Amino acid sequence: MKPTSVNPIIPEIFKDTSLSEDEAIHVFRKFKKVLITKGEFLLKPGKKVTDLHFIQQGCLRTYAIDLAGKEHTLQFAIKGWWISDYIALFGKTRTNSVSYIECIKDTTLYKISKTDFDNLCKDIPEISHFHIRNLEGAFASFHKRILENLTLSAKERYLNFIRAYPNIEQNVKNYHIASYLGITTESLSRVRKEIANK
């Protein structure tokens, strides 16, 4: 798509996807701009999940709380990423949300309903292929994450994390990272100390 598009956000959302001006306008109509500030929630458990969210600017995280009351971070999302409760939105058995999506830095995002997105995929092959590329990439990342969780120590996982998300560190708290890595904040603190002492 040419940079002369009337909807500058569309080429940003659908990177490497060529849409006609008409298509871009049609697609743009399905999105809704949302501003959300630090500390607010995009989603809470028990709610019906209907939307996908593209982050133009900011930072959020998805987490769940277990029976013991502990938080577990499923994913972080920054500029250029999509976020939702994918277990509820993509799962074969449609359930309500099991997760919180918390804004951890003032954020501008564009949301679209899954229904509208599905229709765009049906109507516009380029959108289909875009979605496939994204899903395949995300699928590979999650395989990798599971493999790393199985094979690496807490220390190695932490080092991987700060290497993979070098820019995220300013926004997220250490206890967010700990709950993402599957360890306690105390353990993470000790790991960090160990790394610093070298």
User: Is there a contact between 54 and 94 (Cβ–Cβ < 8 Å)?
Assistant: no
Strands (E), the chain: 32-36, 41-43, 51-65, 71-78, 82-83, 100-113
Name residues contacting a copy of itself, limited to 154-183 (CB under 8 A). Answer: 179, 182
Q: Using the rule CB under 8 A, is 33 a contact of a copy of itself?
A: no
User: Is there a contact between 61 and 40 (Cβ–Cβ < 8 Å)?
Assistant: no
Q: Using the rule CB under 8 A, is 72 a contact of a copy of itself?
A: yes
In the complex with DNA, the residue whose CB is nearer, 25 or 154, is: 154
User: Is there a contact between 108 and 57 (Cβ–Cβ < 8 Å)?
Assistant: yes
- The site partner of 48 among a copy of itself, DNA, none (C-beta below 5 to 8 Å per kind) is none
Q: Give the residue among 146, 114, 144 at the shortest CA–CA distance from 131.
A: 114
Q: Using the rule CB under 8 A, is 92 a contact of a copy of itself?
A: yes
Q: Using the rule CB under 8 A, is 69 a contact of a copy of itself?
A: no
Q: Which two tokens stand for residue 54?
A: 């593209």
In the complex with DNA, the residue whose CB is nearer, 4 or 153, is: 153
In the complex with a copy of itself, the residue whose CB is nearer, 108 or 128, is: 128
Length of the chain, in residues: 198
User: With 0-12 CB in 10 A as exposed, 13-18 as middle and 19+ as buried, what is 9?
Assistant: middle
In the complex with a copy of itself, the residue whose CB is nearer, 86 or 175, is: 86
Q: How far is CA 159 from the centre of its chain?
A: 21
Least separation, in Å, of the C-beta of 6 and a copy of itself?
Answer: 27
Q: Which two tokens stand for residue 53?
A: 């969210």
What's the alpha-carbon Rg for the chain, to the nearest Å?
A: 18
Least separation, in Å, of the C-beta of 85 and DNA?
Answer: 22
Q: Which of 25, 34, 138, 154 binds a copy of itself (CB under 8 A)?
A: 138
Least separation, in Å, of the C-beta of 122 and DNA?
Answer: 43
Q: Summarize as ranges the residues that interact with DNA (CB under 7 A).
A: 68, 153-154, 173-175, 182-190, 192-193
Q: Give the residue among 60, 97, 64, 98 at the shortest CA–CA distance from 80.
A: 60
Q: Using the rule CB under 8 A, is 136 a contact of a copy of itself?
A: yes
Applying CB under 8 A, which residues contact a copy of itself?
A: 64, 66, 70, 72, 74, 86-87, 89-92, 98, 121-122, 125, 128-129, 131-132, 135-147, 149-152, 179, 182
